[in-house]
Amino acid sequence: MGVPGLPEIVPGDDLSALIAEATTGLLEPGDVLAVTSKIVSKAEGRLVAAEDREDAITSQTVRVVASRTAPDGHTTRIVENPLGLVMAAAGVDASNVPDGFVLLLPEDPDASARAIAEAVRARSGCAVGVVISDTFGRPWRAGQTDLAIGAAGIHVVDDLRGGVDDNGRDLRVTAAATADEIAAAADLVKGKTSRMPVAIVRGLEGVVGPLELPGARSIVRLGPADMFRVGSEEAWREGYEAGLRAHDPAAE
């Protein structure tokens, strides 16, 4: 369910206290709060002046994964940002912000989630978890969904490897991305235009745990674990250029 009563968030707001106050009397042990990253960024002053959004995207780009230009001339860049997240436009957001400004993602979403969880637990007396979500596209499916970019007080993955299924077969790869599932489910309540940036997900007592549990950063695939480091056109071009160099070292 959505959490009503939050004001418009501005830089310097104590977001943890505001959420703790707004959820007073609403929480039960085992609840998980899903918080839209935009209000976290606003409270933390991640609003920056940018005459050109593309320049802001470049400033937040660690590595370009893929870049495509549409017939209308608009270019979409899929990049890795400083958080290790691979997403369109590095997560730089220009919607619902003043002209001439853009909003960057929180600098440390896991730390932001812990601060919210600590404040809410202290005020409510309930062991609750927190997920901070943002919107991602998927490489093999149309449309976007919310994923967890920060988390605290929850098991972000339900790792079933080493167990067996109902037929006694070994489970070798099954590890449910619980934090992402929570983020996506909560967005059905929060929506994109409903001005409901926080939602409560109930019935997950087995998911909630100590605040010291690994956060969402632990489920980002980096380095050798990343099987899709570049887009298809980029991979073809890299392979073609590598082939040329192999046949003609002078092409270096």
CA distance 77 to 69: 9
Find the farthest-apart pair of alpha carbons in the chain and give their distance in angstroms, rounded. Answer: 71
Which pLDDT belongs to residue 168? 61
Q: Long-range CB contacts (< 8 A, 24+ apart) of 79-85?
A: 81/105, 83/109, 83/149, 83/217, 83/220, 84/217, 84/220, 84/222, 85/149, 85/220
Q: According to the model, what pLDDT value does residue 53 have?
A: 86
Burial class of residue 190 (count of CB atoms within 10 Å of its CB; 0-12, 13-18, 19+): buried
Sign of dihedral through CA atoms 28, 212, 90, 53? Answer: positive
User: Could you tell me the domains of the chain?
Assistant: 1-46+105-220 (3.30.1330.100), 54-103 (3.90.1660.10), 226-252 (no CATH)
* Distance linking the first and last C-alpha atoms of the chain: 58
pLDDT, averaged across the chain: 88
- The pLDDT value recorded for residue 174 is 63
Task: Spell 60-81 as b/e; 16+ CB within 10 A means b.
Answer: bbeeebbeeeeeeeeeebbbbb
Distance of CA 143 to the CA centre of its chain: 16
pLDDT band, very low/low/confident/very high, at 171 (cuts 50, 70, 90): low
Distance CA 139, CA 91 (A): 16
- Per-residue pLDDT at 252 exceeds 70: no
pLDDT category, 167, cuts 50, 70, 90? Answer: low
The mean pLDDT of 191-220, rounded to a whole number, is 89
Q: How many CB atoms lie within 10 A of CB 49?
A: 9
Which letter does DSSP use for residue 202 in this model? Answer: -
Task: Say what the pLDDT of residue 106 is.
Answer: 96
pLDDT in tens, 65-109: 999 888 888 888 999 999 999 999 999 998 888 888 899 999 999
3-class state of residue 1 by DSSP = coil
Cα angle 144, 151, 171; round to 5: 80
pLDDT for 181 equals 95
pLDDT tens column, 207-251: 999 999 999 999 998 888 888 888 888 888 888 788 888 777 665
